[in-house]
Amino acid sequence: MFKRLLSVFIGLLTTAMQGQDPITSKLYETYEEYKESSLGERRIKHRQIQPLIQEFKANPKFEVQKVGESIEGRELSLISIGTGEINVFLWSQMHGNEPTATQAIFDILNFLDSSDFEKEKREILSKLKLHFLPMVNPDGAEVYQRRNALGIDINRDALRLQSPEGRILKRVRDSLDADFGFNLHDQSTYYNAELTDKPATISYLATAFNYEKDINAVRADAMKVIVYMNKIIQNYAPGQVGRYSDDFEPRAFGDNIAKWGTSLILIESGGYTNDPEKQEIRKLNYVSILSALYTIANGSYKNIPVEDYEKIPHNDRKLFDLKIENVTYQLLGNDYILDLGIFRNEIDLKGHNDFYYKSVVDDQGDLSTFYGYETYDATGYTIVPPKAASMGNQQNPKNLLQQGIAYVKTVLPDTGFSVDEPVHKANLTFKLGSFKLQPGVNPTFFLEKEGKITHAVINGFLLDLSKPLEEQKFGNALIYR
């Protein structure tokens, strides 16, 4: 009997340690019920979240107060809920082009306002008081840029406090004397979990408070909660969690907030395959943050070994959007075997509500220690330079590509920088220069095998010409004026 009870106890303990509290799977399964549908794309603006904030202000469950204004006069609001003695402060979008967690915050607020999960929410809200400061940098968000209107990085203003947004952040933290802080960011999609081809979809950090990277009780608590969150994310994005560098940065808010006595948890939202708008990553933020609040409320995180934090892989930055391996490149009569690493850069359009892709070859040579969201082994294939031709707009793109034509000279529209068809458009006087493959050039060329063109690379997107083009992933081609 004793052995049987011991076995049951160990099983329950293991389940808890793996982040398998029943709330976790339920949160993931029911997410769509709480997702804020008005915030469906990354380039959200301050004006879009104001009606949502006003709804919470009119809701007696929440306390909403104006805590200041940005340089350009946009209002910053703090949204609070709960009656507990443990203060938890969560802020997002200190960098204007890092909006994933801002969206997740409003999903979390919708969840807290619902009548579901009554037992779990009672546990959270009776033990914790939650304070949300969404979109710390609304001026940066307006033009989808990292920095604020002053041109500075708010996250490097914790000492001088020259930005009103930075002063607001410090004043709120100090007034709450927050026990836990969640510093919510986005990171480059090109980070991977160290020594793997998996993107660092979520990266965590228990911020250091000194150059020695000492671990006191405050930092240890952050580490334990991160271990808990990591084990949850492993259920939905296995192997796709990284550990952000903990080098001490004396100007940064996270480092100083940890120094001031708050257990600081940094969350960086990275990349996820076929999720350009980061909506799956938004969901993972929602699930992991709510689960973290639950373990803080019930205290279960305290039993987690702090040593497990070091087992989370480091972030690395060795991902490309497209990696082409072992391709033959002919130069001055000789054949060379190269790998190509391609980035699909996003170029903002006027109004900062949308973008187009303008890709570049970032690196070439031996890239065997790098990875791609998409990888193609081009062993036996040779790169063929693209051709330009004067043709009507109605020409079938696939026929053009099969002939090695990547540029069509035609009458161009008055505006625009890109086209949806997988063939570049150019003006009638366009002249295609000599082809030379090197970092910085736009990746547009063809792959040939046994004398036949089989694939096209147009603006960094690989197309298999044996398959229907409309069934393949493609962003855009470019307009050359």
Q: What is the pTM of this model?
A: 0.93
Residue 83 CB partners (closer than 8 Å, separation 6+): 125, 126, 129
Instruction: Say if CB 307 and CB 360 are below 8 A apart.
Output: no
pLDDT for 69: 98
Looking at the chain, the number of H-run helices and the number of E-run strands are 11, 23
Ranges of H-type helices in 310-466: 397-402
Residue type, 125: L
Give the residue from 88, 251, 222, 234 showing the smallest Cα distance to 157.
251
**CA 287, 246, 170, 67 torsion-angle sign:** negative
Distance, in Å, from the CA atom of 191 to the CA atom of 357, rounded to the nearest integer, reads: 19
Q: Are 179 and 87 in contact (CB under 8 A)?
A: yes
Domain residue extents for the chain: 19-316, 319-480
Is 120 within 8 Å of 160 (Cβ atoms)? no
User: Per residue of the chain (481 residues), what is the pLDDT tens digit?
Assistant: 434 333 333 333 444 444 456 688 999 999 999 999 999 999 999 999 999 999 999 999 999 999 999 999 999 999 999 999 999 999 999 999 999 999 999 999 999 999 999 999 999 999 999 999 999 999 999 999 999 999 999 999 999 999 999 999 999 999 999 999 999 999 999 999 999 999 999 999 999 999 999 999 999 999 999 999 999 999 999 999 999 999 999 999 999 999 999 999 999 999 999 999 999 999 999 999 999 999 999 999 999 999 999 999 999 999 999 999 999 999 999 999 999 999 999 999 999 999 999 999 999 999 999 999 999 999 999 999 999 999 765 679 999 999 999 999 999 999 999 999 999 999 999 999 999 999 999 999 999 999 999 999 999 999 999 999 999 999 999 999 9
Closest CA to 430 of 391, 385, 474, 475: 391
Alpha-carbon 63 to chain mean position: 30
> In the CATH scheme, what is the homologous superfamily, with its name and number, of domain 19-316?
Zn peptidases (3.40.630.10)
Cα pseudo-dihedral 421, 427, 430, 432, rounded to 10: -10
CATH architecture of structural domain 319-480:
Roll (2.30)
CB 102 within 8 A of CB 44: yes
pLDDT at 391: 77
Q: Which two tokens stand for residue 238?
A: 């296995």
What's the token pair of residue 334? 């000789």
> For residue 279, which phi and psi values (nearest 5 degrees)?
-80, -30
Largest CA distance in the chain: 88
Give the model's pLDDT for residue 392.
Answer: 60
- Please tell me the predicted confidence (pLDDT) of residue 8: 34
Euclidean distance between the first and the last CA atom of the chain, given in angstroms as a whole number: 81
Specify whether the CB–CB gap between 226 and 204 falls below 8 A: yes
Cβ contacts of residue 239 below 8 Å, gap of 6+? 193, 196, 198
